[in-house]
Amino acid sequence: MLLRHTPTEVKERSALTINPAKTCQPVGAMYAALGVHKCLPHSHGSQGCCAYHRSALTRHYKDPVMATTSSFTEGASVFGGQANILEAIQNIFNLYNPEIVAVHTTCLSEVIGDDLTQILNKAKSDGKIPEGKFVIHANTPSFKGSHVTGYSAMVASFVQHFAETSGKKLKQINLIPSFIEPSDMSEIKHLAELMGVRYVMLPDTSDVVNGPMDGKFRMYPKGGTTLKQIKTMGDSVRSIGLGRTGSMAAAKLLDTKCKVPYDLLDLPIGIKATDAFVDALRVASGVSVPETLMVERGQYLDVMLDMNQYVSGKKVSLVGDPDTLIGMAAFCAENDMRVLHVVSGTAPGPKFERRIKELCGEDVKVKTGPQADMFYFHQLVKNERPDLIFGNTYCKYICRDEDIPHIRVGFPIYDRVGHSYFPVTGYRGGLRLLERVLDAVMDRQDRDAVEEKFELVM
């Protein structure tokens, strides 16, 4: 699907989305549930919905994603899905023996008005949930929000159902990341571990959707936050939410439910945001920053200074999820790149636009919500041409038609590998991201160079 017929003239649209710059809430809810150990995501809707959600995650991570479904048919669509999910719960525990079943709703179950709280209470009273096992749910209709808000709702549901307080504080920190790659979750843990900080991360998809190939099938991989760890989150001394849109709901809930104060930070993408996260860990835990971490920072800073001449002044356009976009905008700004456009299909609220303008200046064009789609993004690119585009796989069509280098970042990425293994967060992730940008810039420089300018040395 080439987009050469996209018009340059931008017209306001109020009732039409063309190629949305997001996917649906259940995808995010399913991903969050995968980050809890021995938890099986369950889609309360049709088989087709569940197949799409699993397919989206499987294609992105190149790893099989396990989930179950209530398998709605025409009858369930008319009379409700209670009978379907009650039978499904019994089958799930008999066949797959998870510790937790995390149910997320779909358009269909939301439109017909299934009361999941009542249904799951009935499942428990009917003895369909074995002793010591749990079924939780989050309301995630696809006709509102995005995969980021679905992720946020499911993470908050885990906190609501399991976090508790014993009255005795533990010297540990809650780390609540937004919708990011398992590689980024590993990198955030790496920073905390280098500093000797005791933590609980919820969710944690590292070693789940990027696990090693050892020839064995595991229904429940070794990774993921354990139920025991989630229960202790109410006794932590502080929570740190990384990415406002994806983490705020769970962080605020821990505060209201268990009196755990919280900090909301940007995702640690780029040197300044990583510095802020490291400092928050230092203050909350009363530890010092080790020399090994300063070496990582220094190496990243060294490359930023050495290679600034190649990226300074480059114009960039960004499209994707709100929390990732703020991180990318910060990364671009501190490397002296000029951000022209920031577009997100998620509607994160007015604070998002203010934060982007703080980072990139008042001239940046920012648009969010249903009409902030890939069609609109393409129109912006046509009107004010960037040197680079940061975004997911769907940007490749625009980049091909407009002959602009593409930095793949965000969700989904279907046509490349590496995103689940190589982070963009932390000092090491920032260095890796800068390397990718420099490669793109220099590849284009080499491609377009005349013979006498085709140099061996930069």
What does 41-101 look like in DSSP terms, one character per residue?
EEEES-HHHHHHHHHHHHHHHTS----EE----HHHHHH-SHHHHHHHHHHHHHHT--SEE
d(CA 458, CA 454): 10
Q: What is the CATH number of domain 170-211+218-294?
A: 3.40.50.1980
Q: Can 107 be counted among the known catalytic residues?
A: yes
Helix (H, G, I), strand (E, B) or coil at 180: coil
- Residue 83's φ and ψ, nearest 5 degrees, are -60, -40
On whether the pTM is more than 0.85, the answer is yes
Dist CA 162 CA 411 (whole Å): 29
pLDDT tens-digit readout, 28-69: 999 999 999 999 999 999 999 999 999 999 999 999 999 999
pLDDT value at position 5? 82
272 pLDDT more than 70: yes
Confidence label for 74 from pLDDT (cuts 50, 70 and 90): confident
* Inter-axis angle of helices 322-334 and 426-448, nearest 10: 70
State which H helix or E strand residue 318 sits in.
Answer: strand 315-319
Enclosing H/E stretch for 25? helix 25-34
What's residue 136's pLDDT? 98
Tens of pLDDT, residue by residue over 398-413, are 999 999 999 999 999 9
Is the per-residue pLDDT at 265 higher than 60? yes
Query: How many residues are there in the chain?
Result: 458
Task: Note the pLDDT of residue 457.
Answer: 80
Structure tokens at 332: 């671009």
- Structure tokens of 61? 């991570």
Q: Residue 153 CB: number of other CB atoms within 10 A?
A: 22
Mean pLDDT of 435-456: 93
The three-class DSSP label of residue 136 is: strand
Pick the CATH number of 308-448 from 3.40.50.1980, 3.40.50.2000, 3.40.50.1170, 3.40.190.10: 3.40.50.1980
Q: What letter would DSSP give residue 233? A: G
The tokens 């969700």 sit on which residue? 411
| Band of pLDDT at residue 193, cut at 50, 70 and 90 | very high
Identical fold for domains 170-211+218-294 and 308-448, yes or no, is yes
pLDDT at residue 15, rounded to an integer: 82
Please state which CATH class domain 25-144 belongs to: alpha beta
Distance (Å, whole) CA 70 – CA 85: 5
Tokens encoding 291? 């020399």
- Whether 111 is a known active-site residue: answer yes
For residue 289, what are its two tokens?
A: 């920053």
Q: Report the mean per-residue pLDDT for the chain.
A: 95
Is the pLDDT at 448 greater than 80? The verdict is yes
Element (H, E) at 299: helix 291-306
Q: Give me the catalytic one of 103, 107, 197, 278.
A: 107
DSSP 126: T
Q: What's the pLDDT score for residue 109?
A: 92
Place of tokens 């079943």: 101
Predicted local confidence at residue 2, as pLDDT: 57
Confidence tier at 301 by pLDDT (50, 70, 90): very high
Alpha-carbon 27 to chain mean position: 11
Model confidence over 377-390: pLDDT tens digits?
999 999 999 999 99
The DSSP secondary structure of 213-229, one letter per residue, reads --S---SS-S-SB-HHH
Q: Domain map of the chain by residue range?
A: 25-144, 170-211+218-294, 308-448
Of the segments 9-13, 82-86, 249-253, 450-454, which one has the largest average pLDDT value? 249-253
In this predicted model, what pLDDT tens digit does every residue of 352-374 receive, in sequence order?
A: 999 999 999 999 999 999 899 99
* pLDDT beyond 80 at 1: no
Cα–Cα distance between 253 and 248 in angstroms, integer?
8
